[in-house]
Amino acid sequence: MEKLVIGKIVNTIGLKGEVKVLPYTDNMKNLEKLRQVELADFSCILQVEYCKIHGNMLRMKFKGYDNIDLVTNFKNKFLQVSRESTKKLSNNEYFLQDIINAKLYNKKEFIGEIYEIDNFGAGNIAFFKNKQIDGSFPLLENIFESVDTENKKILVTEKFFEVVVEWK
């Protein structure tokens, strides 16, 4: 069963076992409905008592974890779910991990291959490279014309070239 990483626990909140989660999605509304997650490094299934959007983060509480001491070890751990438990994606929607190792093209040529996606709080940043350069770009709306996750191929729009940062 394939797992999707949905976020990272970055801190605890208060004394009653709540955690702050950095979500790995641009649609946090879908995560509010979660009832069960897996703590990746522990292979432990956690029942979600509640999940609330809190700015650009999530505030989560797990059933049976009612004390800060019980969740402190979860800090910097990843939360994941089975792909089957996620909603069906519509055209041009994708999970971030599905575009890692995807090849970027404009209408004429190969641009590079995405090797990492990170989130520094303000949004997701994709990192790519080819034989000559390394670069990065924010994952904004309208920078991809099409995304083929099955063949790992992405066609970029002209807007892509307005936001890309390259370095050697």
Is pLDDT of 56 > 70?
Answer: yes
Report pTM. 0.73
Instruction: Tell me whether residue 76 is exposed, middle or buried, using C-beta atoms within 10 angstroms of its C-beta: 0 to 12, 13 to 18, 19 or more.
Output: exposed
Is pLDDT of 166 > 90?
Answer: no
Is pLDDT of 157 > 80?
Answer: yes
31-35, 50-54, 129-133: segment of lowest average pLDDT:
31-35
Residue with the bigger pLDDT between 17 and 5: it is 17
Q: How far apart are CA 60 and CA 40, in angstroms?
A: 16
Most confident of the ranges 43-57, 63-77, 134-148: 63-77
Express each pLDDT in 16-43 by its tens digit. 999 999 887 767 777 888 899 999 877 7
Residue with the bigger pLDDT between 118 and 19: it is 19
Residue 88 is classified by DSSP as P
Domains of the chain with CATH codes? 3-84 (2.40.30.60), 96-167 (2.30.30.240)
State residue 137's pLDDT score.
Answer: 92
Q: How far apart are CA 25 and CA 113, in angstroms?
A: 21
| 44 three-state secondary structure | strand
| Cβ-Cβ contacts under 8 Å for 73 (sequence gap 6 or more) | none
Beta bridge partners of 138: 125
Region 66-76: mean pLDDT is 95
Q: How far apart are CA 53 and CA 27, in angstroms?
A: 10
Region 130-138: mean pLDDT is 90
Alpha helices, DSSP H only, in 14-157? Answer: 29-32, 68-71, 96-99
Express each pLDDT in 72-113 by its tens digit. 999 999 999 888 877 777 766 788 888 999 999 998 799 999
How many secondary structure helices (H) and strands (E) does the chain include? 4, 13
Region 154-165: mean pLDDT is 89
| 63 three-state secondary structure | coil
State residue 79's pLDDT score.
Answer: 93
Strands 153-156 and 103-105: parallel
